[in-house]
Amino acid sequence: MKFFVDTADVDAIKELNDLGMVDGVTTNPSLILKAGRDITEVTREICELVDGPVSAEVVAEKAEDMIREGKILAKIADNIAVKVPLTWDGLKACRALSDEGHMVNVTLCFSPAQAILAAKAGATFISPFIGRLDDIHLDGIDLIADIREIYDNYGYETQILAASIRTVNHIIEVGKIGTDVITAPPAVIKSMVKHVLTDKGLEQFNADWAKTGQKIG
């Protein structure tokens, strides 16, 4: 399973990247706003830091404008994946950009039908949003399972990029299904290390070691 980090915070990306935990990065307009930096500047810095795909999102609504913006974003670095929404115009832009050799991440996917269209339009990645489906009392994990089954049935090469991940359990469940990639905020990825029994065991070891009165080195 590949780990993409869902943030435009360069320091947070660097910390995880130094540990070998980063296979790519996803950004969106909301994350750029949170970073408070120029989109070209921060995206270029992330691309220089990370070897894998870095998703940068268009903001236009019409296909021709998405294509124009996508080409501008793609010039930032060779590892840019142009992010387009799963609308009819977004699919048109996906086809045009992928035909020119650009990586394309089709985002805001909420149904298997949408995922099929994205694959046929040449998407490099499809981004189904798990957490947002959970928010409206639907099962986002089921969506990943459905897409995985359909893609495997027909040999679609589009990679499933599980997005809107809120919990460690989300990561575990989509991993069991066989998602290609997950993208999650740094805090969620870092929380994967936590377990109450790890903390309890460490506390016991430290207490016992203190009783020995020894030092290492």
Cα three-residue angle 137-154-118, rounded to 5 degrees: 55
Residue showing tokens 């070891």: 205
Q: Is the dihedral of CA 14, 18, 19, 20 positive or negative?
A: positive
Respond yes or no: is residue 83 known to be catalytic: yes
164: closest CA among 155, 174, 178, 156?
174
The length of the chain is: 217
What is the rounded CA–CA span in Å between residue 7 and residue 28? 8
What is the rounded CA–CA span in Å between residue 147 and residue 36? 35
Q: Which of 14, 83, 120, 176 is catalytic?
A: 83
What's the token pair of residue 65?
């404008």
Catalytic residues: 83
